């Protein structure tokens, strides 16, 4: 809390002196690689800037968390059932599994599908054959894709081979 207050105060002082309007540095690297802008190079000057993160919700992360939760919850419930002789309350154990494991995984998967739908409608990469829907990344360059970031800049884009599907607007 105190660090955030100090950062805001520092930013206001720099803004008053006119030092927050830094020029964008020219790119000297290859156009296909990702470059940093001044907000990422000087994070102390832009405390409110949060770059678009790498997608945290992927199918793999959902499965990983389901397995980790099950690995902790099943032995704990088994111990409690044996120790306190709660065998007649097996439906409570199923309810706990539903509330702690299944329902959060289902909600995360629904959020992941919504992100995928937005990406398919708004990004060039979603129509490319190198796009992987399960992780929102380009298989060719192994970089995550977002609406604002196309890893190859469209230079290595290849049409997906899905001729004849009604919802594919690649060749219409």
Beta bridge partners of 132: 137
Domain residue spans of the chain: 1-51, 54-172
E strand or H helix that includes residue 144: strand 143-144
pLDDT of residue 29: 47
- Judged by average pLDDT, the poorest of 22-26, 85-89, 94-98, 151-155 is 22-26
pLDDT of residue 20: 66
The rounded mean pLDDT for the chain is: 79
The tens digit of pLDDT for each residue in 22-61 reads 555 555 544 444 555 666 667 777 777 766 655 568 888 8
Checking DSSP bridges between strand 143-144 and strand 131-132, what pairing results, if any?
Answer: unpaired
pLDDT of residue 41: 67
- Supply φ then ψ for residue 171, to 5 degrees: -110, 20
E strand or H helix that includes residue 76: helix 59-84
SS3 90: helix
pTM comes to: 0.59
CA-wise closest residue to 77 among 61, 100, 103, 105? 100
The tens digit of pLDDT for each residue in 121-166 reads 888 888 888 888 888 888 888 888 877 778 888 888 888 876 555 5
Separation CA 172–CA 33 (nearest Å): 30
pLDDT of residue 172: 47
Separation CA 86–CA 110 (nearest Å): 34
SS3 59: helix
Separation CA 75–CA 81 (nearest Å): 10
């Amino acid at each position: 809390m105190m660090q955030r207050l100090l950062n805001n105060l520092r930013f206001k002082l720099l803004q008053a002196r006119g030092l927050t309007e830094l020029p964008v540095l020219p790119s000297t690297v290859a156009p296909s690689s990702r470059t940093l802008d001044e907000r990422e190079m000087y994070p102390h000057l832009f405390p409110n800037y949060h770059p678009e993160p790498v997608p945290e919700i992927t199918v793999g992360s959902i499965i990983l968390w389901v397995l980790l939760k099950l690995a902790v919850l099943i032995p704990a419930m088994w111990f409690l059932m044996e120790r306190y002789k709660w065998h007649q309350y097996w439906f409570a154990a199923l309810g706990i599994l539903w509330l702690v494991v299944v329902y959060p995984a289902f909600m995360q998967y629904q959020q992941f599908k919504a992100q995928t739908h937005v990406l398919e409608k708004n990004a060039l990469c979603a129509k490319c054959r190198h796009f992987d829907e399960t992780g929102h990344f380009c298989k060719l360059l192994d970089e995550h894709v977002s609406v604002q970031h196309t890893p190859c800049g469209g230079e290595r884009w290849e049409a997906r081979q899905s001729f004849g599907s009604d919802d594919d607007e690649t060749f219409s």
